[in-house]
Amino acid sequence: MNGSDLAGRVRSGDRRALARLVSQIESGDPAVDPVIATLIDSAPPARRIGITGPPGAGKSTLVDAMISEFRSSGNKVAVLAIDPTSPITGGALLGDRIRMQGHVDDSGVYVRSMAARGHLGGLSLAAAPTIAVLARAGFDVVLVETVGVGQSELEIMDHVDSVVLVLAPGWGDQIQADKAGIVEIADVFVINKGDRPGVDVVQRALQERLGDTGAPILVTTATTGEGVPALVEVVR
Ligand SMILES: Nc1nc2c(ncn2[C@@H]2O[C@H](COP(=O)(O)OP(=O)(O)O)[C@@H](O)[C@H]2O)c(=O)[nH]1
Ligand SMILES: [Mg+2]
């Protein structure tokens, strides 16, 4: 298959072609560069939404609930889940896949995991073209989940249209510290685990930090889906 054939197949929604292309990107194969260029030239990107925040805040659960919400209005959704704690594909990545398992039989949903370690030249070198490709592969929305801790995770957020920072009760101090600078790059703020005590503490810490920037602060309970329609309304 030549490059333009592969690009055409990816655009038409051929999942096997898409999976192959992403694997080639991950392995650093330079042969894919013209294919990516063709895809980028072929169409404007789908809506790209970054979901970031500390480990355990409920990002993957929230992504799963967002998928359901997007699907209920007929949108096709691709997910790129990136986990820096996983050496290859184990650990939390497996958990993320299980969390999004409810959508495996849905042809309108595509979930791809990517381990953060082991990418020559840095994670965003593989993530950026993958996001570009997913955004031209027949989906309406691309959700990118990263753990908001390191510099490379932050860099990935340069490649999305909108950044959602997910926090949970107990993470108020994280807002003050924020060594990575994630608060600056986020457009939308979510306090997840709305069913747990301490939402108001995080809310106040966020309001103090954000001042009157007008950035939306939403409360969700990802496990029940509460607040998720409002979130999707803001980011779509
Ligand atoms: N009580 C409660 N637990 C939640 C909520 N959202 C996620 N969790 C739980 O929090 C844990 C971490 O969730 P996960 O989505 O893996 O977080 P991630 O590391 O940010 O991706 C899991 O046990 C989830 O079931 C929520 O809204 N309420
Ligand atoms: Mg996760």
Do 172 and 59 share a structural domain?
yes
How far apart CA 118 and CA 89 sit, in angstroms, is: 11
Q: 89: pLDDT confidence band, cut at 50, 70 and 90?
A: very low
Mean predicted lDDT score pLDDT of the chain: 87
Is the shortest distance between the CB of 56 and ligand 1 below 6 Å? Answer: yes
Ligand 2 center from residue 95 Cα (angstroms): 7
Structural domains of the chain, count = 2
Q: Which ligand is nearest to the CA of 170?
A: 1
Q: Which residues of 134-159 are buried (b: 16+ CB within 10 A; e: fewer)?
A: bbbbbbbbbbbbbbbbeebbbbbbeb
Q: Is pLDDT of 197 > 70?
A: yes
Do 37 and 112 share a structural domain?
no
Do 88 and 145 share a structural domain?
yes
Do 14 and 112 share a structural domain?
no
Q: How far apart are the first and last CA of the chain?
A: 35
The residues that bridge with 165 in the sheet, in sequence order, are: 52, 189
How far apart CA 97 and CA 81 sit, in angstroms, is: 9
Do 51 and 38 share a structural domain?
no
Domain that includes residue 35, residue range = 1-43
Is the shortest distance between the CB of 45 and ligand 1 below 6 Å? Answer: no
Q: 193: pLDDT confidence band, cut at 50, 70 and 90?
A: very high
Ligand 2 center from residue 185 Cα (angstroms): 19
HSE (CB half, 13 Å, CA atoms) of 214? Answer: 1
Closest-CA residue, ligand 1 atom 8, reads 58
CATH code: domain of residue 206: 3.40.50.300
Do 104 and 72 share a structural domain?
yes
Do 140 and 23 share a structural domain?
no
Do 96 and 5 share a structural domain?
no
Do 62 and 19 share a structural domain?
no
How far apart CA 180 and CA 141 sit, in angstroms, is: 26
Work out the percent of the chain whose per-residue pLDDT is above 70.
86
Q: Which ligand is nearest to the CA of 62?
A: 1
Do 214 and 174 share a structural domain?
yes
Of 35-44, 65-74, 110-119, the one with minimum mean pLDDT is: 110-119
Q: Is pLDDT of 185 > 70?
A: yes
Distances (CA, A) of 4 to 18, 22, 52, 124: 13, 16, 34, 24
In sequence order, the 6+-apart residues with CB closer than 8 A to the CB of 82 are 113, 114, 115, 116, 123, 127, 144, 145, 146, 147, 153, 156
Do 52 and 38 share a structural domain?
no
Ligand 2 center from residue 60 Cα (angstroms): 4
SS3 content of the chain, % helix, strand, coil (to 5): 45, 20, 35
Is the shortest distance between the CB of 60 and ligand 1 below 6 Å? Answer: yes
Do 123 and 24 share a structural domain?
no
Ligand 2 center from residue 89 Cα (angstroms): 13
What pLDDT score was predicted for residue 61? 93
Q: 109: pLDDT confidence band, cut at 50, 70 and 90?
A: very high
What pLDDT score was predicted for residue 99? 63
Of 9-13, 26-30, 59-63, 69-73, the one with minimum mean pLDDT is: 26-30
List pLDDT tens digits, range 48-88: 999 999 889 999 999 999 999 999 999 999 999 987 555 44
List pLDDT tens digits, range 122-175: 666 789 999 999 999 999 999 999 887 667 778 888 999 999 999 999 988 878
Q: Among 144, 107, 151, which Cα is nearest to 129's?
A: 144
